[in-house]
């Protein structure tokens, strides 16, 4: 006999209908389409993980700004294939303005986000996470508001089913339901390069692991650590990806042990299990923070001072980004730049000559 409560069954049914993930009914073969948006640390391994999740055997290439691809999967024999529209944002936080492009009113009800964070670079981890999540959340809430306003203005709007609100509705028995702040859409946080992360000091690994557990639970998100050098971990993240992209079961594997790769589905953790921020050299009450999230941020940045440079300013001209270097083209561009500067100098002299003559 199922242990699910009536509320859980009802919530699952609503979620299934809203995501279009319901089982085929009466022989229907309608195509289900979802959108997955992948963003995160620059050079953190987003493309490599995406290719593995899509079973594509090809070498990863640097992501140029914002790139689109798609995946398809059949639900059964001789049935239409479900489609996953996948957007990947390159450049770390430098191109966060492009986040608004894949988020549209048309895909709101089937949209999800994957945030990938490079575990081998903890000093830029919080800054990357904070900026990208804030940018995505701001635009998601803006689009949700536009959809709701548009629906209200339609004739007969009172008799239509209201559109999903900006805030996800969590089940009543969701751990710490009154304390968490759910991300507007399903969110998966991925810690990449776990093989390099293992080389860090054990106390530092504990700070990173507990902090990401807190952040994931705070946003009602799932959390998984992975490495493209581990087939076992890659199979786990593929399950989480397939859950977002095609509505498949993500499995029941769970690991909260800081000595092992974290694998935690949304709703499986709690603030009580996570505990307080791991600090030994400072009194937490002396940090003077207004919210638990600010407290975790201060503790984290005491251990890992934010060293992230202003990528937005540094990469204002993407042609100077070394990851997009093309020796022959760059050499020709440098030559043309020199010719342009010489032309400007000659033109300036000509104008000075004209002024003197007049």
Provide the pLDDT for residue 324: 65
Sequence-ordered strand ranges (E) for the chain: 33-40, 66-74, 81-89, 111-118, 187-192, 222-225, 263-264
Provide the pLDDT for residue 158: 58
Which of 162, 135, 138 is CA-nearest to residue 150? 162
Provide the pLDDT for residue 56: 92
Provide the pLDDT for residue 69: 94
Mean pLDDT across the chain? 84
Q: Tell me what the mean pLDDT of segment 113-118 comes to.
A: 98
Tokens of 83: 């489609």
Rounded Cα–Cα distance for residues 242 and 240 (Å): 6
Task: Please state the φ and ψ torsions of residue 201, each to the nearest 5 degrees.
Answer: -60, 145
Rounded Cα–Cα distance for residues 153 and 167 (Å): 21
- Of the pLDDT bands very low, low, confident and very high (cuts 50, 70, 90), residue 20 is very low
Q: What is the pLDDT of residues 290-349, one digit of tens each?
A: 899 999 999 999 899 987 555 445 455 566 666 667 788 888 888 888 888 888 888 777
Q: What is the pTM of this model?
A: 0.77
Give me the percent of the chain exceeding a pLDDT of 70.
79
Rounded Cα–Cα distance for residues 329 and 321 (Å): 13
Contact 197, 212 (CB under 8 A): no
Rounded Cα–Cα distance for residues 243 and 46 (Å): 17
Please say if the pLDDT value at position 184 is more than 60.
yes
Provide the pLDDT for residue 306: 87
222-225 and 263-264 strand pairing: antiparallel
Tokens of 34: 């979802």
Q: What is the pLDDT of residues 135-183, one digit of tens each?
A: 999 999 999 988 888 877 776 655 555 555 445 789 999 999 999 999 9
CATH architecture of 30-151+162-303: 3-Layer(aba) Sandwich (3.40)
Task: Please state the φ and ψ torsions of residue 275, each to the nearest 5 degrees.
Answer: 85, -170
Q: Tell me what the mean pLDDT of segment 256-277 comes to.
A: 94
Please say if the pLDDT value at position 28 is more than 60.
no
Q: Tell me what the mean pLDDT of segment 114-120 comes to.
A: 97
Rounded Cα–Cα distance for residues 113 and 280 (Å): 35
- Of the pLDDT bands very low, low, confident and very high (cuts 50, 70, 90), residue 256 is very high
Longest dimension (CA), the chain: 99
Which DSSP state fits 181? -
Query: Which runs of consecutive H residues, i.e. helices, occur in 219-326?
Result: 231-246, 271-274, 292-303, 311-314
Looking at per-residue pLDDT, the higher value among 15 and 125 belongs to: 125
Provide the pLDDT for residue 10: 63
Among 58-67, 160-169, 264-273, 305-314, top mean pLDDT goes to: 264-273
Q: Tell me what the mean pLDDT of segment 199-209 comes to.
A: 94
The domain limits of the chain are 30-151+162-303
């Amino acid at each position: 006999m199922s242990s699910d409560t009536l509320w859980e069954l009802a919530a699952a049914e609503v979620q299934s209908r809203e995501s279009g993930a319901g089982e085929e009914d009466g022989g229907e073969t309608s195509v289900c389409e979802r959108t997955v948006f992948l963003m995160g640390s620059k050079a953190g391994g987003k493309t490599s993980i995406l290719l593995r999740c899509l079973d594509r055997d090809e070498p990863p290439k640097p992501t140029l700004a914002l790139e689109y691809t798609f995946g398809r999967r059949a639900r059964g024999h001789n049935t239409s294939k479900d489609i996953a529209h996948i957007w990947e944002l390159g450049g770390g936080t430098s191109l966060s303005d492009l986040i608004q492009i894949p988020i549209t009113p048309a895909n709101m009800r089937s949209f999800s986000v994957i945030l990938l964070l490079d575990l081998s670079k903890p000093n830029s981890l919080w800054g990357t996470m904070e900026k990208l999540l804030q940018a995505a959340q701001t635009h998601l809430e803006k689009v949700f508001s536009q959809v709701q306003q548009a629906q209200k203005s339609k004739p007969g709007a009172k008799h239509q089913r209201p559109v999903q609100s900006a805030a996800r509705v969590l089940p009543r028995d969701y751990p710490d339901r009154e304390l968490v702040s759910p991300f507007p859409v399903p969110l998966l946080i991925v810690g990449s390069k776990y093989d390099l992360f293992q080389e860090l000091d054990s106390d530092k690994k504990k700070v990173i692991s507990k902090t990401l557990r807190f952040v994931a639970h705070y946003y009602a998100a799932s959390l998984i650590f992975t490495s493209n050098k581990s087939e076992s971990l890659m199979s786990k993240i593929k399950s989480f990806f397939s859950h977002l992209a095609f509505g498949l079961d993500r499995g029941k594997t769970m690991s909260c042990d800081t000595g092992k790769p974290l694998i935690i589905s949304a709703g499986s953790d709690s603030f009580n299990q996570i505990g307080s921020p791991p600090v030994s050299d400072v009194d937490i009450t002396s940090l003077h923070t207004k919210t638990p999230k600010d407290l975790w941020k201060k503790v984290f940045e005491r251990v890992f001072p934010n060293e992230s440079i202003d990528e937005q300013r540094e990469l204002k001209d993407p042609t100077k980004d070394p990851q997009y270097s093309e020796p022959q083209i760059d050499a020709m561009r440098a030559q043309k730049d020199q010719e342009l500067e010489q032309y400007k100098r000659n033109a300036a002299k000509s104008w000075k000559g004209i002024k003197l003559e007049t």
